[in-house]
Amino acid sequence: MTQTIQRISQTDKSYPSHIQTYLKNDSPETIWTRGNIEILPNAGNTTETADLWAIFCSSKCPGEIILNAHDLAHHFRNKGVSTVGGFHSPIEKECLRVLLRGSQPIIICPARSIENMRIKQEWKVPLSQDRFLILSTFHKASQQNATMAGKRNHFVAALASKILIAHAAEDSKTLEFAQTLLKWGKPVYTFDSSYNKPLLQLGAQRYQFGS
């Protein structure tokens, strides 16, 4: 387990090249890491970029979506699907709780500096198993705000190859975010539910369990 914080600059071979493809001039000059850097796409060959899913969900969502998200986390855990996210909203946190009980790689991206950040008890085992990586594009900020969370979400989406947005309410920031990802050409998925009509109308694909 890597206890020390490491830095990855844009000139390093381990810097994910596709970050700059999507974020362009907004690409972070430095990424701070803690954990097994080899599960980062481009840093080693243990994690294929095509298998890295990002999970997002609005803070509030219908019960039907909550159940779908819970099933998705179990499906990803059982299939060994690598995931990345901020895991900040209640549903995202529940997904992380389920995923931590598996054996697949997980990348978590806090919207704050990881310097002096307390490592949660539930993160220690996956860290010791070299299947957990903490990434941050922020150096000194110890508390997050909405702007930092937005930048973090764009970084996570750029890092991933496929995006699952469990729910985005109409006229929400999450829906605007989804629109940006679709303009990037990223594969964006959501659950087939009437509650997700705004996402589906934008062009999100219906996620099929077992696919």
Q: Residues 29-84: pLDDT tens digits?
A: 999 999 999 998 865 444 444 589 999 999 889 999 999 999 999 999 999 999 99
> Which alpha helices (H) appear in the chain, and where do they start and end?
17-23, 63-79, 90-99, 121-128, 146-159, 173-184, 197-202
Between CA 200 and CA 202 the distance in angstroms is: 5
Distance CA 112, CA 140 (A): 8
Per DSSP, the chain holds a count of helices (H) and strands (E) of 7, 9
Burial (CB < 10 A; 0-12, 13-18, 19+), residue 115, is middle
Closest to 167 measured CA to CA, from 53, 61, 54: 61
Taking the whole predicted model, whether its pTM rises above 0.85 is answered as: yes
Q: What is the pLDDT along the chain (211 residues), one digit of tens a residue?
A: 456 899 999 999 999 988 999 999 999 999 999 999 999 886 544 444 458 999 999 988 999 999 999 999 999 999 999 999 999 999 999 999 999 999 999 999 999 999 888 899 999 999 999 999 999 999 886 677 889 999 999 999 999 999 999 999 888 999 999 999 999 999 999 999 999 999 999 999 999 876 5
**Positive or negative torsion for Cα 128, 164, 77, 161:** negative
Task: Give the helix/strand (H/E) hosting 209.
Answer: none
Q: How far is CA 194 from the centre of its chain?
A: 25
